[in-house]
Amino acid sequence: MTLPMSSAQAMWERARRWGVDAGGRFEAQDDLMLLWSGSFVPCASPRPIGGFTIRWRWPTHDSATIDRLQWHPSYSTPDEIRQAVDVLAGLIRR
């Protein structure tokens, strides 16, 4: 999935606002977004259950590409990771 750079940056900003430390389920790293089983606030031991990678400025300077969805088959599904992408993209209200 290729997005305008501004949309991809907005996803990372949302993920930081909804981060696992702030009661959410996301952890935004440089080019990796992790989805956690819960937040650190109410859950004593959350674990990463999936995520996706992004290629910044690919295929053009003003775009970014989500190029790899990953999930732990015991704890998540591809659909849950796709839904997380949609939430971060603003396509589904949180």
Q: Is 28 inside a domain boundary?
A: yes
**The total number of structural domains that make up the chain:** 1
How deeply is 66 buried, as exposed, middle or buried, from its count of CB atoms within 10 A (0-12, 13-18, 19+)? Answer: buried
Confidence category of residue 90, pLDDT binned at 50, 70, 90: confident
Exposure string for 45-56, b = 16+ CB within 10 A, e = fewer: ebebbbbbebee
* Structural domain contains residue 35: yes
pTM for the whole structure: 0.86
Domain of residue 28, residue span: 2-89
Question: Of 40, 39, 47, which is closest to residue 74 (Cα–Cα)?
Answer: 47
Q: Does some domain include residue 34?
A: yes
Q: Quick check: is 94 in a domain?
A: no
Mean pLDDT of the chain: 90
Segment 71-80 mean pLDDT: 92
Residue 29 in domain = yes
